[in-house]
């Protein structure tokens, strides 16, 4: 019997339209930030459905978070509250600006930031809240925005997992925060290879982010090189960054965005199959979105229950032996040497995140999976735990 091929944890779902658009871009001669990046920004704004929202395409969600925090004036002496249960990019952008992070625990029911812990962490130095929509489930943003309003704080949402997540039927990205940042990394719900989108209703924030996105130039290259009259002149108005999205990447995004509703439906279908198949196992299954709302299902994260007869690490090894890749989201920030040592953090300060980490496994869930692939995952999980 021939062994089945290895099933990776994630794969992008790219079709002929994306490939043709990239080829068209290469043939056009405009491969850096240009007409397709602008089209992608416009298409993303139309997807969000709010004419007041401005979209700024960037080369990563990390870049978008950095630009958003820089645009609100974050600097040395300021603090930003965020969750320990996230990827380091969420927090590192705060340090880029010389400010400090205040890490807090998660709600064990949702794996999202603990709302009560946010309020308890506020000090006179607190400037902003940076919630993370973990795995594609919306944070209780109404509560976050209420805290921010009462304490005079800014809010920047890390929505790297949260496209097209909704909260009370409103898309993440259209709520009342100062800015929201999405990721189009290779394993996200749609991809441009590398890339992200900063969205905001604040025209001054958008203007600053656009300037800082490309070296602090007063005009970007596309505007200068396509003007109807000679317009070579520009000015550097700030020490900016190199965060622009290329047209090659935007070409992928234009078609991935069109496919996003179908992508979400397929992800939800796989998640529902997993939920049904694992209901009798010693697992804590991921929370679903409230009735009427949308979970992006970027990740399908299970936690081994107290009575599971196998450790998390042994479970992952067993899945690998069955030819299936898994991951862990995340090794929380309080366990990493930099964050641990800078802020004197211990696992006891974050009991919910620590317990989740010790039991968490992310199973493969992506739209390029066939039904047979899904059943392979089901049978492997059941074989280890049933």
Residues with catalytic roles: 188
Spatial contact of 300 and 363, defined as CB atoms under 8 Å apart: yes
Please answer whether residues 112 and 84 qualify as being in contact, where contact means their C-beta atoms are separated by less than 8 angstroms: no
Rounded CA-CA distance 33/36 in Å is 8
């Amino acid at each position: 019997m021939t062994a089945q091929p290895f099933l990776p944890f994630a794969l992008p779902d790219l079709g002929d339209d994306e490939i043709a658009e990239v080829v068209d871009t290469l043939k056009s001669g405009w491969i850096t930030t240009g007409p397709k990046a602008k089209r992608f920004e416009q298409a993303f704004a139309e997807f969000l459905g709010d004419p007041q929202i401005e979209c700024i395409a960037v080369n990563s969600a990390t870049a978008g978070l950095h630009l958003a925090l820089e645009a609100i004036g974050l600097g040395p002496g300021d603090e930003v509250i965020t969750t320990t249960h996230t990827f380091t990019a969420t927090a590192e952008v705060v340090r880029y600006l010389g400010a400090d992070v205040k890490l807090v625990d998660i709600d064990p029911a949702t794996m999202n930031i603990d709302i009560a812990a946010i309020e308890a962490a506020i000090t006179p130095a607190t400037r902003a809240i940076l919630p993370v929509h973990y795995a594609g489930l919306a944070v209780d943003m109404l509560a976050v925005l209420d805290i921010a309003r009462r304490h005079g704080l800014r809010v920047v949402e890390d929505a790297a997992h949260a496209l097209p997540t909704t909260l009370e039927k409103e898309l993440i990205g259209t709520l009342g925060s100062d800015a929201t940042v999405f990721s189009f990394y290779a394993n996200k719900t749609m991809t441009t290879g590398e890339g992200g989108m900063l969205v905001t209703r604040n025209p001054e924030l958008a203007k600053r982010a656009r300037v800082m996105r490309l070296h602090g130039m007063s005009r970007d290259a596309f505007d200068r090189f396509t003007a109807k009259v000679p317009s070579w002149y520009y000015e550097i108005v700030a020490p900016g960054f190199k965060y622009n999205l290329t047209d090659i990447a935007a070409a992928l995004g234009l078609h991935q965005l069109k496919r996003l509703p179908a992508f979400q439906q397929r992800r939800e279908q796989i998640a529902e199959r997993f939920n049904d198949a694992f209901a009798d196992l010693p697992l804590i299954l991921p929370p679903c979105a409230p009735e009427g709302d949308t979970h992006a299902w970027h990740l399908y994260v299970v936690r081994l229950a107290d009575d599971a007869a196998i450790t998390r690490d042994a479970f992952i090894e067993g899945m690998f032996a069955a030819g299936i890749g898994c991951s862990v989201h995340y090794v929380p920030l309080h366990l990493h040497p930099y964050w641990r040592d800078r802020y004197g953090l211990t696992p006891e300060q974050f009991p919910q995140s620590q317990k989740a980490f010790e039991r968490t496994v992310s199973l493969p869930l992506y739209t390029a999976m066939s039904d047979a692939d899904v059943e392979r995952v089901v049978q492997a999980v059941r074989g280890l735990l049933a």
